[in-house]
Amino acid sequence: MLLHSQVPARVDLAGGTLDIWPLYLFHPGAQTINFAINCYARCRVSVRRDKVIEMISHDLRRRESFPSFQTLKKAKRLRLPLLGRLVMAFEPTTGLTIETDSEAPAGSGLGGSSALNIAICGALGRLSGKRMPATKMIELACNVEAQVIGIPTGEQDYYSAVYGGLQAIHLTPHGVQAEKLPVDAHELSARFVLCYTGQSRASALNNWEVFKAHVDGKNGVIRHFDRIAAIAGAMRQVLLEKDWKQVATLLDQDWQARKKNYPGITTAKIERLIATARRHGALAAKACGAGGGGCVVFLVEPEAKLKVEEALRRMGARILLFHVEHRGLRVQATKFPNRYL
């Protein structure tokens, strides 16, 4: 059997970092707003005739192989820890070759690692016959990623990866609830510009510093998170109303509040790109994910989009052309009984 899975990355608009448990429990009404884009993580799993577990990451240019699943379980160190831990979680009964690839630039802030995580879970879940509910898959993916990076991780990326589209992800004591927002995908695509700064960043480290400050009870950080939660709630409403002037105001407010939480969220280059884009017609901008590099998203009037993109290119940024992806995780299975590895 051959399995292919594909999962979209995402662009976050408001409420980031609040999605790390248990931070959102301290901010009533907490939610995160994001939309999925056609920048994909992919996984390919092929069943083998032998017992070998072979893992290949094409974007990282790494591979790792074990004579059997039992050997993998006993390994003390993995070159591909996310792949290895997920394979162990699904306990395959056959040998397999699992290959992954991600279109998101390294450290982009687009949730690429979480999208890849869901792509792997989707393919291995189909192979193993463990048809777990989406919420359980997200729980597993989140827990395994936390094990790999060694610190808590947020949840918004997984919901975008599983469901696609524009979402308000409500973070409540009763659990996380995803709400798809009925906003025209073509209009969203026409009103946003996405660029990669060329600077990779470690989102986990930025988020961890902010997380620690919140848990330590730093009043300034807590106040800023109250503000971020309120902005996200308002962002949901103005998106539904298609009030793009207010979307711009709230996007900027979210960015300003996030910068106050931790100075490493922005960089001199990000600030130069935002200033340049504003001079050429951008209405607002923010760094994606935890900031510190990676991608920046800009809200523009549709007629100014090409002008802003060209100005950013002249600054050395890489424009990521995209459209909003309304579909989330997809898994396709093919049987080839006479072509096993």
Q: Are 10 and 108 in a shared domain?
A: yes
pLDDT at 212 over 90: no
Give the pTM. 0.93
pLDDT confidence of residue 203 = 54
Q: Kindly state the average pLDDT of the residues 283-302.
A: 94
In this predicted structure, what is the pLDDT of residue 202? 57
* Same structural domain, 91 and 237: no
Question: Do 158 and 41 share a domain, yes or no?
Answer: yes
Domain co-membership, 99 together with 173: yes
Question: What value does the mean pLDDT take over residues 101-123?
Answer: 94
- Same structural domain for residues 168 and 264? no
- Distance between CA 128 and CA 93 in Å, rounded? 8
Residue 341's pLDDT is what? 36
11: in domain: yes
- The answer on pLDDT for 274 being more than 60 is yes
With 90 as the cut, is the pLDDT of residue 138 above it? yes
- Do residue 195 and residue 144 come from a single domain? no
Q: What single-letter amino acid sits at 23?
A: L
CA distance 298 to 317: 13
Sign of CA dihedral 9, 10, 15, 16: positive
Provide the domain count of the chain. 2
The model's confidence at residue 336, banded by pLDDT at 50, 70 and 90, is low
| Domain, as residue range, for 59 | 2-180+326-334
pLDDT value at position 264? Answer: 82
pLDDT tens-place string over residues 1-33:
899 999 999 999 999 989 999 999 999 999 999
Dump pLDDT digits (tens) for 214-273.
888 889 889 989 999 999 999 999 999 999 999 999 999 999 998 988 778 899 999 999
Q: Exposed, middle or buried by CB within 10 Å (0-12, 13-18, 19+), for 319?
A: middle
Q: Is the omega angle on the peptide bond into residue 173 within 30 degrees of 0, that is, cis?
A: no
Q: Is residue 91 part of a domain?
A: yes
> Quick one: 157 and 277 in the same domain?
no
CATH code of 114's domain = 3.30.230.10
Domain membership of residue 340 (yes or no) is no
Residue 154 falls inside a structural domain: yes
Same-domain pairing of 204 and 275: yes
Identify whether residues 86 and 207 lie together within a single domain: no
Considering the domain architecture, whether residues 47 and 85 belong to the same structural domain is answered as: yes
In a domain, 341, yes or no: no
Average pLDDT over all residues of the chain: 93
Which pLDDT band, with edges at 50, 70 and 90, does 205 fall under? low
According to the model, what pLDDT value does residue 211 have? 84
Q: Could you tell me if 28 and 125 lie in one domain?
A: yes
Residues 224 and 87 in one domain: no
The CATH number for 206's domain is 3.30.70.890
Residue 340: is its pLDDT beyond 70? Answer: no
CA distances from 146 to 139, 152, 234, 298 (A): 11, 5, 30, 30
- pLDDT at position 204, please? 56
pLDDT bucket at 291, cuts 50 / 70 / 90: confident
Looking at the domain assignment, is residue 339 inside a domain? no
